[in-house]
Amino acid sequence: MISRYTRPEMGRIWSDENRFQQWLEVELSTAEVLAERGEVPADAARLLRQHASFTVERIQAIEKEVRHDVIAFTTCVAESMKAKGHGEASRWLHYGLTSNDVVDTAQALLLKQSAELILRGIDRLAEVLRRRAFEFKDTLAIGRTHGVHAEPITFGLKLALWYDEARRARQRVEAAAEDLRFGKLSGAVGNLAHLAPEAEQAICERLGLKVSPIASQVISRDRHAAFISALALACALCEKIALEVRHLQRTEVREAEEPFAEGAQKGSSAMPHKRNPVVSEQICGLARVVRSNLQAAFENIALWHERDISHSSVERVILPDSCILTDYLLDRTTWLVEGMRVFPERMQRNLELTRGLVFSGQLLLDLTAAGMLREDAYRLVQTEAMKAWREEGDFRAAIESHPDVRKFLTPEQIQHAFAPERQLRHVDAIFARVFGAHSKAG
């Protein structure tokens, strides 16, 4: 992934330096476990741990000649041992392993490290969503369906809904990451021809991994596809939030907007007045990239026989890129929500824009409850609503003076039908369901 979207900590995880370091840790842990089992000289394992090293530049230079990255790596490490006078110990490096025993197991370590960062990112986003949900719990706004005014809500309900989705996103990523915390050192076709099952188990435990119950030359790629799917869903939440901000920032709406650096930030090279939701649009765009990686992850599941390498080149792109982008999008979305400017007065103005039309549903129920046939009540309310819509009239005034309505409802009952607090009387109950023991603002 390009540096523009790479945050430092996640970038370090997917650096060549760290990738080869994890390879080395798999190699050293294998030597140590085999030494404990008496299959490798104890001195050799000790010397490898003390002196084995590499440089990325040397590995890359060797790979240009041998055209095999793992052989280039083991050659480089062996060279480092010889240079320090311990060349004899280097013959026990990579003992009993095939290349993908190292690559797949080390990749599990990289994904474990990445998942920990991503989970922290989701937690930060969820906390900001929780805080701002309580800030606007009772802030009146108009709910929209199909982009059209529907019924009153509070702005806090939007944020509480996003919080609820963030909680599920965390559960998915956590479960998928745990399902990826598997190593394999079972050899070229997965039959443990050169290592005992107990050795494989011990090596994985030493690395903080579980052992894959069965593998071919590679760990089954459904695990990786499930992880990318969990990341894509987390990014879809980021997109959902950003898309809503984009809508609310439109000139005709102006109920909220993303942060804008007054006096420094420029919205347009040609139009000085512009305040464009550029970060929100960036979030929406990059979420598509993570989603597209999911298709490639699914394609990687089916491989020839016990393995081909059609998935390998794909994973060099989609695994780091998906982790890097998810980390970036969570950070940008947290920034967006935390600094989002909200305009309650504009929300109130938009709520009143249609002069009572958004209370048509409550009026329908009240007329029905008062004794009017539902079909008649619907026809009456819709007729007046469409007239007000067409002529930009005052729906509430028309209802208050309508003789058929007054036959069934008193002026006080009509006023009650147009009371937004009536429709929002259960907001506290919804917050209690979402936030549980944390359903208080503090």
Residues identified as active-site? 146, 268
Is 358 exposed, middle or buried, given 0-12, 13-18 or 19+ CB atoms closer than 10 A? buried
- Angle at which helices 56-66 and 16-36 cross, to 10°: 90
Give the 3-state secondary structure of residue 44. helix
User: 430 phi and psi, to 5 degrees?
Assistant: -65, -45
Which residues does 15 contact at the CB level (< 8 Å), separation at least 6?
none
- Neighbouring C-alpha atoms within 13 Å toward the C-beta of 326: 34
The alpha helices in 256-355, defined as continuous H runs, are 278-299, 310-339, 344-351
- 423 vs 421: CA distance, rounded Å: 5
Question: 358 near 382, Cβ under 8 Å?
Answer: no
How many beta carbons lie within 10 A of that of residue 317, not counting itself?
Answer: 12
Token pair for 285 = 């765009």
